[in-house]
A = this chain, B = another copy of it.
């Protein structure tokens, strides 16, 4: 079946292309009768507008892009990103916008090249950007490229920003976590975080430090890279250290928490009796582990939805807005239960 076009519909009805276009788009300039006839015929021939023709004449791609820049190995195992993706897609589908996905190994150059191409080819109308970095070059780049974007997970700081973003209050999360450990009697803890070049990690580290100080607790910070092995190594190193041992470890994600658990087992230490464990991300891993791991549930699906909806609004209105993420919830499980 040859594709129907607007010209085809017009010819069949004996009217002009322009009228057909107006009718189909609900624009004024056609009588109700004509509009009905057009819509009925379009329905009957199941006509759809050619997305490329429409994109060309409207100068709008009808799609937004997302670059997943992370170790492919991590992405496959970390449920956080998948949850995010699901939420994003839900919001975009509702807004009749397509999602263009690109995965690049943890490579800033490729991420940058992708944005440049997308902007140059006008392939997407905007992008979602993740994992805000210290001195992040991407906002400036995207501004220069004229590509609208939403930065997901920017700091909560009150500084007025020149771009749209979603924020999470990591200080509040830190307080939740530290208070929980303090209440369980811990006075000396370790914090195995992700790389500090991520703004959210820097904020978490600071948040934990400050809240711990507030309680008069001691914190051993340890920077790692989110991998299972990193969590394992961190715990091994921390507990072999000559200083008085910590009684609890906070992990920056679920994978490292799992690694920590393995390390404890190898060291012959019991969790939570000898060392308690808590993860900054909840996931099935935390629920299934033995003992089940206490974790902060951040609802990635909701976060994705909010971010995507914000991007759609930005594309629509051009406004610059900031959206706060809903509060996280601590899922208390056996790994921190008073022994």
Contacts and interface: CB of A to CB of B under 8 A. Distances in A.
Interface residues of A, number: 53
Interface in A201-260: 228, 255, 258
Interface stretch (A92-100, A163-171, A176-184): A92-100
B50 A53 contact: no
B100 A72 contact: no
A181 to B, nearest CB: 23
B51 A53 contact: no
A53 B51 CA distance: 11
A86 B76 contact: yes
Contacts of A301: 72, 76
Interface in A293-312: 300-301
Contacts of A104: 93
Given A76-B301, A82-B82, 4 more contacts: A76-B300, A99-B101, A100-B101, A101-B101
29 contacts: A3-B120, A46-B116, A46-B120, A48-B117, A48-B121, A49-B121, A51-B122, A52-B52, A52-B53, A52-B61, A52-B122, A63-B100, A72-B86, A72-B90, A76-B86, A77-B79, A77-B283, A81-B82, A85-B103, A89-B103, A98-B100, A99-B100, A99-B101, A99-B102, A101-B101, A228-B284, A262-B288, A284-B285, A285-B285
